[in-house]
Chains A and B, each alone.
Chain A
Amino acid sequence: MYKYASPKNFYALAGQLIPWLAGLTVLLLAVGLYLGLFVAPPDYQQGESYRIMFIHVPSAWMSLFVYVVMAAAGAAGLAWHTKIAEVLASACAPVGASFTLITLVTGSLWGKPMWGTWWAWDARLTSELILLFLYIGFMALQASIDEPRRAARAAAVLALVGVVNIPIIHFSVEWWNTLHQPASVSKVGTPSIHPSMLVPLLLMALGFKLYFFTVVLMRMRYQILEREKYSHWVAEVLAAEK
């Protein structure tokens, strides 16, 4: 198990896993979308427009999951000084930010028919917006530091500070929302889950997870080549690919 902490072995292992993960991802997303968009019945309150939930909800779960993975990888990099952990954290960030962006856009699209506006400062969406800023901050900090080791370690500290703050931020935004929104305005509520809705939802969630693994492994392979560019095995790999 520990031999995969070496960048060279990890590179090879990731290369083998990626095609399988990619295939599974496409399969799960296709089945999930088919079931969600065509097979699940329309919601008695929201009609057809609720179907965007099948993208919105798994995206929201992923946006938070990826941040936690990013912070955990950062912590591992700080504690054990392993390049793989640092590369993992760095690879997660854009993927997590994308999921956050998708959550915000789909949340806005979902809310338009109900609220009449594109944005209504709903507590959950506001928290997601702040999460997006946390991701952007992480990526901006890494991009501003030329020295890769310092960049990874500084961003890891930031991610850890962020992960500790996320519950506090979420609590304060919920608090703020209940103070300022009159009770009559409905939140973007998940409709009561019918079993035929649950299955596609979970399939989409799983599909998104596998998508995350696929893309992160691909990004990690690229970054490993970049960070190990002075070593012999990288020269061999690049020569072999010519």
Chain B
Amino acid sequence: MLEVINLECTRGDRALVSGMSFSLAEGELLHVIGSNGSGKTTLLRTLCGLSRPSAGEIRWGGRDIRVLGDEYRSCLSYVGHNDGIQGELTPAENLQAAARLGTDTDAAVIAHALEQVGLTRFAHLPTKVLSQGQKRRLALARLLVLTKALWILDEPVSGLDARSIEVIERLLAEHLARGGLLVVTSHQGLAWRAKTVHRIGLDS
């Protein structure tokens, strides 16, 4: 359902990615591999539509994402390097704010999401008192509140301990089993459980 044709991503007048083509169907996972600075984050942000590619096309359901605009964005969830959470708000309030921008939701869904990432105890504390790993888990909890088809994740498990990583692996597997699509970069080896795992390396 996600197709990329001859993609070229430029930064500072220099092409980081060029001539890239692939397609991703339901239940499939794309693992982007590359060293630091090779353009992984740029590629993911381009797939989200945040960055504009210098050449090539990205299609969702057969249509150009630039034409789809809001329609594409309503099918996509992105967790980047930044957690996308505000320190002054509680975890529950952060998820509530995210929900208001995406799918309408109720408190039960938010409570369930917090439970799945093990943050129920902290639900009503300001997020700035949480640790790095806990904030990362909150960022990923956002994926559970907004049920979108395409997940684009940039280093989702950085800063997490082994047990949390297992939890996230399970959540990703469940998403893929439901027919979701996943594009992910990760330095750490993760146990992928998908119908098909595509790999793209950016160092060449």
Contact = CB atoms under 8 A, between A and B. Distances in A.
A48 interface: no
Interface string A137-173: 0000000001111000000000000000000000000
Chain B facing A: main interface SS: loop
Interface residues of A, number: 9
B12 A146 contact: yes
Interface in A197-228: 227-228
Contacts of A227: 13
A230 B13 CA distance: 8
A230 B52 CA distance: 20
Nearest to A231: B13
B44 to A, nearest CB: 18
Interface string B1-39: 000000000111110000000000000000000000000
A228 B12 contact: no
A76 to B, nearest CB: 16
A230 B14 contact: yes
Contacts of B13: 148-149, 227-230
A85 to B, nearest CB: 15
B14 A147 contact: no
A149 B15 CA distance: 13
Contacts of B10: 149
B123 to A, nearest CB: 39
Nearest to B54: A81
Contacts of B54: 81
Contacts of A230: 13-14
A227 B14 CA distance: 9
A215 B54 CA distance: 29
Contacts of B12: 146-149
Contacts of A146: 12
A225 to B, nearest CB: 12
A217 to B, nearest CB: 21
A78 to B, nearest CB: 11
Nearest to A229: B13
A80 to B, nearest CB: 12
Contacts of A147: 11-12
A7 B13 CA distance: 13
Nearest to A146: B12
A229 B12 CA distance: 11
A10 B103 CA distance: 50
Nearest to B15: A230
Contacts of A81: 52, 54
Nearest to A153: B52
A146 B12 CA distance: 8
A230 B14 CA distance: 7
Nearest to A148: B13
A146 B52 CA distance: 17
Contacts of A228: 13
Contacts of B11: 147
Interface string B86-97: 000000000000
B55 to A, nearest CB: 10
B192 to A, nearest CB: 34
A104 to B, nearest CB: 36
Nearest to A230: B14
Nearest to B52: A81
A147 B52 CA distance: 14
Contacts of A148: 12-13
Nearest to B10: A149
B12, B13, B14 pick with most chain A CB within 10 angstroms = B13
Contacts of A229: 13
7 contacts: A81-B52, A147-B11, A148-B13, A149-B10, A227-B13, A228-B13, A230-B13
Interface of A: 81, 146-149, 227-230
Interface of B: 10-14, 52, 54
Given A147-B11, A148-B12, A230-B13, 9 more contacts: A81-B52, A81-B54, A146-B12, A148-B13, A149-B10, A149-B12, A149-B13, A229-B13, A230-B14
Top 7 A-B pairs ranked by shortest CB distance?
A: A227-B13, A147-B12, A230-B14, A148-B13, A148-B12, A230-B13, A147-B11
